Structures are given as structure tokens and as C-alpha cells.
Structure 1
């Protein structure tokens, strides 16, 4: 066999490897096949060159370089070809080639802006990866996210913890998700959340006192940081009966930095779910993840030792009332509680931060909201903590909805995929083949002029109010396209608690404090610097505050 013929066989082996592995690449459980195809096959191919190259190292280098080049070219040509199952969907062709690009781009933190720009250019369905599309169409929401929609997609495999129990957010099996979800549904019913009101009231007042104290010297405070402290303390109270005390002591455990680094890393790895299948086979655990597990385990042990003082969330997930015939195991409780702390704090604090940014950027909205709150809760009659009354205030709820519309907590990746073995699914008059990741991007959806107009990129709370004869602008506000808490069986289980927190804190601070941006603050630049790492991450928001004159 000549050297040329041997090299042709190396190229052929690369093409055959691609034909075999293209169905397995996204699956972590098939990660060993990816390793086999990338490493072992070119080593075997080097034997073909033995007659022509004496040095083992040179043979390996030559076989590997030819093999990897041929494999890469085969993959790229197939993915951009008209024979690919997703070839009919438009999008930038360079994104078709590899999800490695998605992982690299995710590091920039501008995914929400990038995906919206793609939809503005290419339409409601855009191909954004080799086997991935993004959909922004209200008629597609129910088939994708609804009760009869699709199970979660492959990116959730990439977000699961290596060498650990899969938490409820990452579960792709609908049956297992339903089993674990039932416990959490009980913990966040309307009646259950009513039991949590006392905790929210206590923490809201503590936040108010801390903000006033920190502003005593007339300087600026970072509202982003303090809202994070508030929501972490709330989740600590809800899940573990207290013990965090961020408002009082600051981030003494370093949890905030840990969470920031973790969400950035996960936002990249979710594009390469097969990598988790390799990583979890290694006998290591990231130091940050180990630290957070130790912290969460200590909280669980302390809460179990103290027992139930009130019906907190832990009361339900540990089955302290004996309702569940098959309760969650301790590892499942630990895993679910850990993700609940992050999900329940990060998302709510981010929304409250952007809400006050928009209010302070629109003084007329701030003034109107204060007038509504003071009318419903005269300032000398006590604090605005009647949850029922707060839920009925039209402008307060309009302001919160508008903040959630413009900056949804999870702005890009509500990902699902057709059920395995189904062959595919019809969505918005398009057939989506099995093996396709289907993303719904709330950020782009909420700013789509078909559903929210006029001025879909502007903060206009009035679009949520009932029109009157005096209303000058006629708004299009499609509630079916408003999904800040997702929808369907995997929607945000803590929505009721999040709304309670946002209403109480917003009403309290608007009633009690005069606020303005810190000196030298650049409002336009601030909004541009909001980052997306699966959840939104607002930058520091410098605020100067003082007590209202009436106080």
C-alpha cells in the first residue's frame, strides 16, 4: 500500500467516524464515543503508515493531523449543506459549524442582544447551531413549552453538576421531573406563600434600615448588591429557617463571587453537554462547587437539627408533614435546595434592580407609582405590606410587568427538544426533526413589535393598564407572548413568592425613600452592560437615597 493510499484510508476513517458519531455528539452518556472517535481511531490509523514512516511519534502526528482535518471538514461541510435536516431554517452560516462557537460567544455575556438581532434579521425561527434553532412566535409557545409540549433539551445535560445528583432544574425525564416537582408545588401554593409573608416583611424592613444606614454619609450605595443580599436572605429563611444574614454581615462566605463564576462557567458548558459526560468521569470536583455543596449541606444539617419553627419550604421538601408517600431522598433535597437558593435569589434581585433603574430613568413613572402607593397606604398609617391590596394596585403591577418584559430573568434559553423516539414535532407550521434543540428567547419575544407596540424597547408601564377614553396611545400588549416565568410544567415554581417580594420591597422603598442615580452615572451605558449568563446579571447600580420629606 502506498503512502497516498494509506492517507486516503485515514481520511475515509474520519468520514465514517463522523457518519457514526453525528447522532451521539450532544449526549453526555455517549461521551466515550466522542473520545473514541477523536483519540483512539487516529492512533489505530497510524498503523497504516508504519511501512512509510519509521518514527512512532511522527506516524501519530501525521495520522492525527490528517484524520482531524478530514473529520473537521466533513462535519463542517455536512452542517452547512442542503442535506442537513435544519437546512431550511435561516441563520448565520458560521453558527451552523460548531457549538464551540456558542460556548466562546457565551463568555461575552451578550447572548440576549445577539439572539434578538438574529431574529430581527432572519425572522421568527433562526438556526443558531448545528442542531439548534431559536423560536420567537407566540403560536409556537404551547407546542414547545406547554403542558403537551416538549421535554427539556440537551443544554440541561450541560448544566448538571458533575459527580452529583441531578437537581430538579436539570431533569429532562418528564416523569421524574413531575415526581420531584410535586413537592415544590405544595411549597409554593397561594396558602403556603401567605405563610411566608412575615419573613418577607421582616427582611424588607431590615433592607430599608440597612440602605438608610449605609447612606448616612451622603455617598452612593450599590443597589444591585443590596438586592442580592435581600433575596439570598429570603431564600435562606425559606429553605433553611435562616442563617445566611447577608444584609447584616455581608457576603462573609464568598457565596456571591462563587455564584458569579459558576453561572458564567455553566453558560459556556451548556453549549457542550457531551463535555460533562467526560468531565464527570474524572475523580475531581471544582473547588467552588465543593465549597457551595459544603455550605448547603451545613445549612441542611442545621435546619434538620433545629426542627420546624414555621412551615418554611424545607418543611415541605423534607416531608415533615408526612404527606408524601415516597419523600425525596436527602441527596435530592440537598441538590434541589442548592439550585433553589440560586434561582430564587438571582432572578428576583436582578428584576428588582432593573425595575428601579427604569423607575429612576423615568421620573414621571416614579412619581405616579408613589402617588398610587401613598393613596392605598397613607404613609402615617403604616407600611405597605397588605399583600392582597398590593396585588390589586394597577400601576405597581404594570411597573413590575414592564421591567419583567424588558429584562426577563432568563432571557434566551428556555430550551426544549422533541421527545426521543417521536421522530420530530410540528411547531408553528414547521416540522422540527428529532435531535433538534429548540430555544425560546423571552428577551426577543417580549420586544417583538407584533406583540408589544408601539416602542417595544422602551419602558412604558401604561401599556399594561386598561385603556380609557382619555388614553392617547393605543397599545398592543399580547399577554400570550409574556412569559417572564416561562410556562408549562417546568415554569418557575416560585413565581408567587417572587411577585410578593417585588411588590413589597418596591412599595416600601418608593414610599419611604427619595432616590436618584449616583454622581456621574451613565444610564444608557448601564443598560448596555446588563449581561446574560443564562440569567441576567445587572452591573452595579449606584444610588443616592434619603428619607422622604413626609418621614
Structure 2
């Protein structure tokens, strides 16, 4: 049987997907080339490419975002500068600075270095915000309006209110009893929050009496954590802000402009409507209303509210952190604690110590003040860089030119451990270093409250609280760590909060 060959013409097969695949490879290739070019540029051609630092930090801000959320930036930046030197590249266009000569240029009076847009997530839509305002002209005008409210001369109007809260705190310690282990870190924050309420509104929040904050501290902590990393990519905050009416609020930083602000708003409204009056007391809110009335309404009701809300949000945390530090380091150093007790007893014998201790008496106690400086040197409240933008003319730091638009910042934890200023024993708690004849450089580079024109406006109030609380507590109680060899836990989300100040205390005879 003959098999005839198939004489039909062979039709070549056709894969319809081939042109599509070919078409898709073009943008993929372009994207890959663009990414490669970006990496090569930012690593080798960027004006700050010669500055050393972690590889991933040089090509993406995600490195900084992750570090901001982890909660260890205060310690990690010390290690980075130990490894890389005075300048460390921490983002494609951002540099961490540990050069002392540059600090005064960046933060000094009359500086042209504006705050970076990291602060924009803190400010949101508020028009009056001394902490987050980036325009130096606006900030200067706003600060001049309220400077006197926070001045040393105003403290005498607040002192009696602080005394009443100090006394309330001491009563709480007595009620807890000598057999109880006390979380002194928690109680210091309850105290600091109630003081802010008393100073600002002539009424506490009742946290000391109730022994709890009702969730307020966690809300503030969530807001701090959120702002720490969102501030590294501020565009995300503003996209979220634009979409909030549709998707709702999903960033905890909005609490600074939400619930915390509402607490202050209730008090401001009550005062405006005459429902609540401080009587003879001259609290901070009354002083803000005075400014508003005397300055031709340069402060609106919203501006007054913003200042009051800022006190509530920031005033409690920073003071509580500092109080924990002083107590912790004193209890870790028996010799220093003994010296401070001797100073307290000496003042008592001379009839120069009230109970509660008055501010002018505390200011006249050199060793107490040295202990406070030293504890805040070792543990400043802020543990992240204070970012600023280099002006258009650029700047030379440590022999390296940084062009205009580069973000630079100094970390207080790094500055406070510079041996050229504070000595070789920078990790030691040694208050005596502040009693030396020459402490000018140490105070010049003391960054616990920021520096220059942006020095924390609430510094005097915080210092007063600490100056009164510490000697009064030591005068009334014998106190020791429940576990002397245990270390506390530090978490840095802008503020470096501590956990683990567990103590035993009993009233002194």
C-alpha cells in the first residue's frame, strides 16, 4: 500500500503572546536601567557619596524608617559615629553630624538652617506650633509672644500648684507601704502629667489619686512611635491626610491633633465660657489669654489651644523621663546618693530646706543640680537626630562640603558622649564633673532641651519640677532599687522612655 506524501503547505505556528511579552519587556528593562542608574548615582556621584555609612542607608530612606521604628536609634547612632567618624550618611540625602564646630552653626542663634519636613507630620495643619514650625521668621514671632509665660519670673505663680501635686505624690507613696515594690517610673509619669494639668489648667487629671492614666500614656506613646517613622517619609502622612475622609485615620500620630487636643479643648472652652475659673491662681492658660488680649489678637483661640495641647502632650513625658533618670542613676551609685543626702541634711540643719523644697532652695544646692545635669547628660529625653536643612550656599563640615538642601542633624546622645567635652569617662555617672571650675563647654553642648533659638520653651518648668521633687523625695523616704543589679529597658521613639525603675521605699524617721 502506497502512502502518498502530504503535499499540503506547512503553516508555521503562531504564538499570539509573543508580541505582548516583547512589549512588556521594554518598560521592565527601562525600570531596571533606571533603578541601576539611581543606585550608581546615589552611591558614587551624589555630592555626599564620599560620606561613609551603612550601604542600604545610602540608597533608600527605608533603612532610616526601619531604624526609627525599632526603638534603638539613641544607642545605634552612638555606634555609627564610633565606627564611621564625625559624619555618617544615614539616608540618600541626610547626614548625621557629631562635629562640635558645626553644632553652633546648625542650631545657634540666627541660624539659616530650617527644620526639615520631618517636623511637618507633628505640625499637621496647626498654624501655631513652636515645636514643629519650620519657618524661622514665623517661629520667632510666635515665640516672642509667649516667652514671658514660660520665663523664670513666671515660675513663682506655678510653684504652689507644683507643691500641692508633690504633696499628693508623697501621700500616695505612704499609702503604698514599705512592703510593696513600687514602679517608680510609672508613678513619676503620673506625677508629671498631673503637674502639667495643675500648671496649665489649675486642676490635675486625677492620675495620682486613681493610680492610673486611663490609657492616655499609651496613646501618647503610639503617637510618638508613629511620628518617629512616618516623619522619615512625610509624603505618606500627607497622602493619608488627604484620604482620611474616605479611608479613615490609620496613623497614630493623628492623636496629637485629635484626642490629646480634645482634652485641652474642653478646658479652654470651659474657661472661655466661665464654667471653670482658677480663682486667685495664675495658671498658664490664664497667662496665654492675657497674651491674646494684650497683643491685639495676634493669638487666636486656636493658637491658645495649640499651646495648651502641646503642654499636655510633651510636658509630661520629657519630665517623667528626666525624673526616672535622676532616680535610677542615683540609686545605682551609692556614693553619689550619699553625697546628695549629706547636702540635704546640711541644708536642713541650717534651716534652709522647706518641705516641699522650694525652687530657690533647690537652685542653691550645687550637688543636686550637678546630679540633675549628669543624669540628663547620660539620658537626654530625645534620642533621635534633630534634623535641619542646609541653606542654599552649603556648608563645610569636617572638611566635607554639603550642598544646600542636604538634611543634617545632631543626636543629643552622641553629643553628650563626646570625650573632648565631657572627659574620657563619658559612660560613668559622675556629677562632680559639673562642679569643676570650668563647665562652659559642657553647658554649651548640653542638648537635653535642644539648643539655640529652638531651646525647649518648657525647660524652666521641667527643671522646677525636678528640683523640687528629688530632694523632697529623698528627704521623706529611704529608697533603693528592688533589684540593684538589674538594668532598665530603653525604647526610643523620639523620646527615650524607660521601664524597670522598680524600688523599695520606706518613710524616714
What TM-score, normalized to structure 1? Answer: 0.81
SS in 1 for 2:408: strand
Residues 198 and 88 of structure 1, relative CA distance in 2, 3 Å threshold: same
Report the RMSD for the aligned CA atoms in angstroms: 2.7
Contact 1:318 1:333 in 2 (8 A): yes
Question: Which residue is 1:496 aligned to?
Answer: 460
Q: Is 1:533 matched up with 2:493?
A: yes
Determine which of 40, 61, 71 is the counterpart of 1:77. Answer: 40
Q: Is 1:295 matched up with 2:267?
A: no
Q: Structure 1 residue 538: deviation in Å?
A: 0.7
Question: Which residue is 2:92 aligned to?
Answer: 130
Contact 1:347 1:535 in 2 (8 A): yes
Question: Which residue is 2:382 aligned to?
Answer: 410
Residues 330 and 360 of structure 1, relative CA distance in 2, 3 Å threshold: same
- In structure 2, distance between residues paired with 1:65 and 1:291: 46
Residues 148 and 426 of structure 1, relative CA distance in 2, 3 Å threshold: farther
- In structure 2, distance between residues paired with 1:330 and 1:227: 32
Aligned 1:283-322 pairs, distance under 5 A: 283=245, 284-286=248-250, 289=255, 290-304=258-272, 305=274, 306-309=276-279, 310-319=281-290, 322=293
Residues 75 and 307 of structure 1, relative CA distance in 2, 3 Å threshold: farther
User: Structure 2: 5+ residue runs without aligned partners?
Assistant: 1-16
Aligned 1:125-524 pairs, distance under 5 A: 125-149=87-111, 150-161=113-124, 167-216=129-178, 218-282=179-243, 283=245, 284-286=248-250, 289=255, 290-304=258-272, 305=274, 306-309=276-279, 310-319=281-290, 322-378=293-349, 382-419=354-391, 422-427=392-397, 430-466=400-436, 478-518=442-482, 520=483, 522-523=485-486
- In structure 2, distance between residues paired with 1:197 and 1:177: 28
Q: Is 1:546 matched up with 2:509?
A: no
Contact 1:188 1:493 in 2 (8 A): yes
- In structure 2, distance between residues paired with 1:88 and 1:345: 42
1:387-440 CA deviation, whole Å, 9 max, x = no partner?
Answer: 112112110011000001101111332221124xx3323445543211111111
- In structure 1, distance between residues paired with 2:137 and 2:441: 35
Question: Which residue is 1:40 aligned to?
Answer: none
Q: Structure 1 residue 154: deviation in Å?
A: 2.3
Q: Structure 1 residue 540: deviation in Å?
A: 3.2
SS in 2 for 1:293: helix
Tell me whether 149-158 or 504-513 shows the greater mean CA deviation.
149-158
Contact 1:514 1:546 in 2 (8 A): yes
- In structure 2, distance between residues paired with 1:477 and 1:320: 36
Residues 547 and 76 of structure 1, relative CA distance in 2, 3 Å threshold: same
Count how many residue pairs are aligned between Structure 1 and Structure 2.
Answer: 482
- In structure 1, distance between residues paired with 2:461 and 2:439: 29
What TM-score, normalized to structure 2? Answer: 0.88
Q: Structure 1 residue 332: deviation in Å?
A: 2.6
Q: Structure 1 residue 298: deviation in Å?
A: 1.6
Q: Structure 1 residue 94: deviation in Å?
A: 1.9
Residues 251 and 53 of structure 1, relative CA distance in 2, 3 Å threshold: farther
Contact 2:167 2:356 in 1 (8 A): no
Contact 2:93 2:407 in 1 (8 A): yes
Tell me whether 69-78 or 92-101 shows the greater mean CA deviation.
69-78
Larger radius of gyration: 2
1:62-105 CA deviation, whole Å, 9 max, x = no partner?
Answer: 78765655554343322211x10212322222211111111111
Question: Which residue is 1:21 aligned to?
Answer: none
Contact 2:99 2:397 in 1 (8 A): no
Question: Which residue is 1:10 aligned to?
Answer: none
Residues 313 and 219 of structure 1, relative CA distance in 2, 3 Å threshold: same
Q: Structure 1 residue 522: deviation in Å?
A: 4.3
Q: Structure 1 residue 120: deviation in Å?
A: 0.8
SS in 1 for 2:70: coil
Q: Structure 1 residue 365: deviation in Å?
A: 0.7
Tell me whether 327-336 or 400-409 shows the greater mean CA deviation.
327-336
Aligned 1:55-94 pairs, distance under 5 A: 69-81=32-44, 83-94=45-56
Q: Structure 1 residue 291: deviation in Å?
A: 2.8
Q: Structure 1 residue 477: deviation in Å?
A: 6.5
SS in 2 for 1:451: helix
Contact 1:229 1:250 in 2 (8 A): yes
Tell me whether 147-156 or 498-507 shows the greater mean CA deviation.
147-156
Residues 89 and 458 of structure 1, relative CA distance in 2, 3 Å threshold: same
User: Structure 1: 5+ residue runs without aligned partners?
Assistant: 1-49, 468-473
Residues 238 and 475 of structure 1, relative CA distance in 2, 3 Å threshold: closer
SS in 1 for 2:205: coil
